[in-house]
Structure 1
């Protein structure tokens, strides 16, 4: 191994879909062998279906707070509203609301829509946004929550317990990946002891990675293989939740960024004896 290629001799499994090539390149540059197996597929919701209904629900009453969770989701919501002829109406309706963003990408999407945020989570964690909101008196307040594929039920429940009305806006959902064979091949490689690290960048990918193994009769064997030697790295607490729920050991970088996740794997994996070539 060399300083510029600390992962030479290791194999890393990449389960991401949208940024798979980018993430894979970061690991390859550090000397790793990369196996791809997207664990989920992002599906935008139809403009005239669930998303349009959610937009109308938002417009049905005054809004006190807007929470932007993801840049791609918030941007997609406004783009869909614009295409449906409701973009300007939505923008004007939300101008008087206080907008909170879960990180830089969400903040950029908020500003790109024509709104201005009052708060951005320094750690880019939704839990920090929730804590910030719960410092306020939320009784009777109406909060619009742009969610991702995870419905964020605990987040919503906490706001409702504080007396708020929560209007969720789901812009896209997640399904099985387009290439299930690649996912199955990655699971099989883990079972054969050929994968040294599994970095996860989203909770749905982590959830479906385990669920696919369960549905194909490999769940118990997979969990044992993961406990016995695969270094699991999750980009943040939300992503780590299904891994933690499964009782699997994992690590997280200090900052919830892809680059930080890659550095974490590059720093910690070489301390282990490489098992693959």
Structure 2
């Protein structure tokens, strides 16, 4: 099986069909927050292999209900009374259900009961799990949303038919009301649930990083994870600050905030409801998210300038000069970032003071500039008498 962390899309291959080597310096200096519980190793491995630092804080966790009495009772009911229609909403849910059935000695009976059904998938992940189980689908929702699959079934006609829906962990039955209104006999089975995080302190640290804008990006692979991060911030009175930071980091927003990256439109929905436009890959897959986010971050740092000592790139927590990370505290880093944004123009002390929240006078600016100078080669930062400071251009 291909590892999506290292998979290369056809468009990324060379003209001769060979695959370019992984750029292990692509994300040097970048800091990325990862909110996912499941498959987080793939995300973390991809980003760290490219040189990034990762802050891992699962905002929710998936709990399979392998030995849940209700799930086993629902499974026996399906075996005894097979459905005419099966709607599978998630790949992980279908696999968890079959694993639970197998643990109870019911897997063969369950598959036999489902093979006669008209099978509909909410999206490609559910479709893949269905096919792996020998249950080829008749139709797949392009939007990966339950509402589209439900509308399709209603249009197809479900009056008097038995419809079984494999629910996902955060779903509500209200999504199925149109089926009931159309005359369907609806049953559900829920193979897993979303639960609070194992480490709420880590989530609080992630919230703090978003508020302080000390992350370059934060990834979301499920809508409940996005909702949970916003709720964790809200519980501390920081929801507005988190939303403002993520909105400022949106593609085309001008930079300075934390870029939110969602695996697809379903995952992006809670963020968009708050006015945050995340980066969403063209293909709603984990591998596409990793590739497109990596390229976006490589192409759009918070600031970039060409100096006599090499190319300077400023990130959320550090700066990189000619490929070498610089050791700078947040205050001097903010000053360097402002100088880099100016593109060689003079930056008055008052503007540099504004990026030092705890500072109150020009002396603090001079101290911060002194620390920047001690980190950079001589001559990169120059003083313009009575006007301010500037970065020397190559």
Measured in 2, the distance between the counterparts of 1:163 and 1:126 equals 18
**72-81 or 95-104, which deviates more:** 95-104
Name the counterpart of 1:188.
208
**Cα RMSD over matched residues?**
2.5
Q: Is the 8 A contact 2:66 2:96 kept in 1?
A: no
Flag the structure with more relative contact order, 1 or 2, with Cα contacts below 8 A and sequence separation at least 6. Answer: 1
Counterparts in 2 of 1:78-157, with a 5 A limit?
Answer: 78-121=98-141, 126=146, 128-153=148-173, 155-157=175-177
Match of 1:11 among 18, 31, 42: 31
Aligned pair in 2 of structure 1 residues 247, 158: CA closer, same or farther (>3 Å)?
Answer: farther
Q: How many residues align?
A: 275
Which consecutive unaligned segments of at least 5 residues does structure 1 have?
none
1:206 aligns with 2:226: yes
1:237 aligns with 2:265: yes
Measured in 2, the distance between the counterparts of 1:127 and 1:263 equals 29
Distance apart, 1:202 and its partner CA: 0.7
Q: Is the 8 A contact 1:125 1:236 kept in 2?
A: no
Which consecutive unaligned segments of at least 5 residues does structure 2 have?
1-21, 249-256, 303-314, 319-394
Per-residue CA deviation, residues 230-253 of structure 1 (Å, 9 max, x unaligned), is 111111122112212222222311
Name the counterpart of 1:247.
275
Measured in 2, the distance between the counterparts of 1:222 and 1:141 equals 46
Q: Is the 8 A contact 1:198 1:232 kept in 2?
A: yes
Measured in 2, the distance between the counterparts of 1:130 and 1:221 equals 37
**128-137 or 37-46, which deviates more:** 128-137
Question: Larger Rg: 1 or 2?
Answer: 2
TM-score (norm 2): 0.63
Q: Is the 8 A contact 1:190 1:226 kept in 2?
A: yes
TM-score (norm 1): 0.87
Distance apart, 1:48 and its partner CA: 4.0
Measured in 2, the distance between the counterparts of 1:200 and 1:171 equals 22
